[in-house]
Amino acid sequence: MTDQSTTVLRKIIHIDMDAFYASVEQRDFPEYRGKPLVVGGKPDSRGVVATASYEARVYGIRSAMSCSKAYQLCPTAIFVYPRFDAYSAVSKSIREIFSRYTDLIEPLSLDEAYLDVTEDKMGIGSAIDIARSIKNAIKQELNLTASAGVSINKFVAKVASDMNKPDGLTFIGPSKIKSFMEKLPVEMFFGVGKVTAARMKAMQVNTGADLKNLSQEQLIAQFGKSGKFYYQIVRGIDDRPVRAHRETKSVGAEDTLAEDTNDDAVMHDLLRQISETVAKRLEKYQLSGKTVTLKIKFEDFKLITRSRSFSFSINKAEAIYAEAIKLLEEADLGLSKVRLLGITLSRFYDDIPVEKSESNQLEFDF
């Protein structure tokens, strides 16, 4: 009698909070409930929509839309600025609920995460029951709703979580994955953005079934190394594990100027504010970085970046600001007007100490 290896199917849940920022605002401020709400800024600002309530989405308002456009679509909407401290606090409470069921939690953002419950801490067994229990806990303890997708891999679970929003629970089991993938529009596939989707549609590839008709060689020829991934994912093959300690690659912040400008004083003031925000985020995650990147978007939406790396790491607002100013000067903007500025720190090394002077300021070796 020969031994046969048995493949253990994973139990993966993707939890996605429903209109998270807007839902927190409506929970905390009763006067917003049942009304179209836009989180992102005032309608006469140059900000963009971070989240819109479901009442606002009826009017066609979506994330990343300009606030001015959102106002045109719904002049009666309520516009508020984000309260990220509040959202972070709620997110922490959500993660605590997750941790009751599994330690294999991979956060993707404040409002969504993957959970591997193949071996759940409470011994429930059924991933569907675990997802339902998590949703109930979020509703009862935090007065918010979440949607959940359940399947055998990350990709299918993530797509499933978006199928019956809000407050949905969708299970796609192994026997259903083949037909599910074949019917899926190509723009719903992981890693397929607007540009790639347009290329695929130009090739008459509109669904998973169309994508499945292409060989791996054809996909690689058209889309490079992503082609191999598309070949596997359309067949329901996704071996990516849920990573409990997802490595942070960068920490940054950006802001849009009230008016396009080439005024150094105005840009310097904004860079100081952004530097302080980045420093607070670095402190929160106990990180320091060796590379500073300055992002500059001009009035014509042209985008450039300038970076510098060091032999030591930095994390203080003063140091970040000083380097951002130097990068701005080196960019030699001339008379060009700037629309947006951003700062990002990357190359994190936890085992490399931050260099400090006696006054607790960073010393610069340049």
Clarify whether residues 277 and 342 are in a common domain: yes
Tell whether the torsion through CA atoms of 153, 159, 163 and 169 is positive or negative.
positive
Asked, for residue 355, whether it belongs to a domain, the answer is no
- Do 256 and 312 reside in the same domain of the chain? yes
Question: Is 337 found in the same domain as 260?
Answer: yes
**4 in any annotated domain:** no
Instruction: Note the pLDDT of residue 7.
Output: 58
CATH number at residue 314: 3.30.1490.100
Bridge partners of residue 293, in order along the sequence? 307, 344
Residue 357 lies in a domain: no
Is 195 in the same domain as 181? yes
Q: Structural domain tally of the chain?
A: 4
Q: What is the pLDDT of residue 4?
A: 41
> Cα-Cα-Cα-Cα dihedral of 349, 352, 355, 356, to 10°?
100
174 to each of 10, 14, 53, 180, 221, how far by Cα in Å?
A: 11, 16, 34, 10, 30
Longest dimension (CA), the chain: 81
CATH of the domain at 63: 3.40.1170.60
Q: Six-digit token pair at 297?
A: 């978007």
Q: How far apart are CA 357 and CA 142, in angstroms?
A: 44
Distance, CA of 156 to CA of 237 (rounded, Å):
10
What CATH number did the domain enclosing 146 receive?
Answer: 3.30.70.270
CA-to-CA dists, residue 327 to 38, 63, 251, angstroms: 34, 31, 18
Q: Is position 354 within any domain?
A: no
CB-count exposure of residue 6 (10 Å: 0-12, 13-18, 19+): exposed
Q: Is residue 127 one of the residues assigned to a domain?
A: yes
Q: Which residues contact 130 (CB under 8 A, 6 or more apart)?
A: 11, 13, 101, 115, 117, 120, 122, 124
pLDDT digit string, tens, across residues 252-266: 999 888 889 999 999
**One-character DSSP codes across 99-115:** HTT-S-EEEEETTEEEE
Dihedral (Cα; 186, 191, 196, 197), 10-degree rounding: 20
| Annotated active-site residue in 25, 55, 106, 112 | 112
210-257 pLDDT, tens digit per residue, is: 999 999 999 999 988 888 889 998 998 888 899 886 667 789 999 888
Beta bridge partner(s), residue 345: 251, 292
Give every CB contact of residue 162 below 8 A, 6+ residues apart in sequence. 16, 147, 149
Please indicate, yes or no, whether residues 67 and 100 belong to a single structural domain of this protein.
Answer: no
- Which parts of the chain register pLDDT below 50? 1-6, 350-366
What is the domain extent for residue 181?
Answer: 176-233
- List the structure tokens of 225: 């190394």
Whether residue 74 sits in one domain with residue 37? yes
* Catalytic site includes residue 112: yes
- Please name the residue ranges forming H helices in 58-153: 67-73, 84-99, 127-142
Task: Judge if 115 and 60 occupy the same domain.
Answer: no
Copy the structure tokens of residue 182: 């074949």
